[in-house]
Amino acid sequence: MQPMTDVDPKNEATFTTTVIKSDLNETGAVTQQVLDELSRCGYGEQVSFAVKLALEEALNNAIRHGNAGDASKTVTVRYAVSAQKVVLIVRDQGNGFLPEAVPDCTTPDRLRMPTGRGILLIKAYMDEVCFRDCGREIQITKRRDSTGLPTCTDGDTPVRHTVFFSGRVQGVGFRYTAEQIAHRFAVTGQVGNTADGRVELIVEGAQTQIEEFLSELGRAMKDNIEASRITASPVTGEFCEFTVVA
C-alpha cells in the first residue's frame, strides 16, 4: 500500500493505492482501509455505510465482470479522504464496456436478471460517478455533508415503507424471495418473521424503486399473501443493504 501525504482529492498523485487479486475474499481488507480513514477523519455512519456499499459493488463488478474472475489479473483501488469528501477509483484489467449500453435492470423484462444492479446502487448512493478508459475504471465521490441516503436523479424522494404481510407467508421462502428480489433494486432494508405469524418488511429507497420492488414481490408470492398493511415514514439510513433477519 502506498501511504497518503497531503491528500488532495483533485490530485490523484496524492491518493493511497492498493492492488488486490481478482478474488472476492481480497476485498475486505481494502474496504476496511477506506472505512478506517473515514472514521479517522470523523465521517458519520450514514456516509460511511454509503461508501462501503458503493465500494463493495465496484469491487464486485471489477472482479466478476471486468476481470471475469481471472485470478491472474488484479484490481487497483486508489482513494483520497479529505475533510470535505472521499474519492475512490477502482480499476480492473478487463476488456472494458460501454456503461450506457448496460440494460436498465428495473424495466419489467429485466427484473429477474441480476445484472446492472451494482451500477444502479453506486449511482443511487454516490454524489458523483464517472466511468473512464472504456469502463475499465470507475471514479466515485461522496461528500462529507451528504446525508448518506440514496439520491434520485429523477427527483424521486427517498422514503421508508414498513409492510406487514399475512397469510401463508412464514416458512415458505417468503423472506429469501424478498431478499433476492430486493437485490435487483436500489433499496435497503430487512425482512423477518413476527411472533404473530406475519412477515414484517422494512424498505428504504426511491418511491418508484420501492413500488416496483413490492409489485414484483407481490407477483412472486401472490399465492401466499392474503393481506398486507403498509405505512410510510421518513428515511433513517440505518441500513446499508437488504437482509433477512430472524
Q: What is the pLDDT of residue 103?
A: 55
Over residues 47-62, the mean pLDDT reads 90
Residue-wise pLDDT for 120-166, tens only, equals 788 888 889 999 898 899 999 999 887 666 665 444 667 889 999 99
Active-site amino acid positions = 175, 193
186 with 206: CB under 8 angstroms? yes
Burial of 164 (0-12, 13-18, 19+ CB in 10 A): middle
Q: Quick check: 50 pLDDT over 70?
A: yes
Backbone angles phi, psi at 172, to 5 degrees: -120, 20
The residue type of 189 is G
Over residues 71-86, the mean pLDDT reads 94
221: alpha, beta or left? (left if phi > 0; alpha if psi -120 to 50): alpha
Per DSSP bridges, beta strands 187-193 and 242-244 are: parallel
Q: What is the pLDDT of residue 100?
A: 62
141 with 61: CB under 8 angstroms? no
Average pLDDT for the chain: 85
> Would you state the cell numbers that stand for residue 34, as one nine-digit string?
477506506
Q: What is the pLDDT of residue 196?
A: 94
pTM given for the model: 0.60
Q: What is the pLDDT of residue 107?
A: 47
pLDDT over 70 percentage in the chain: 85
Domains of the chain: 12-143 (3.30.565.10), 158-244 (3.30.70.100)
Residue-wise pLDDT for 173-192, tens only, equals 999 999 999 988 888 999 99
Q: What is the pLDDT of residue 4?
A: 45
With cell 429469501, the residue in question is 176
Cα angle: 146, vertex 140, 212; to 5 degrees:
75
Cα angle: 150, vertex 154, 159; to 5 degrees:
40
184 with 105: CB under 8 angstroms? yes
Q: Quick check: 66 pLDDT over 80?
A: yes
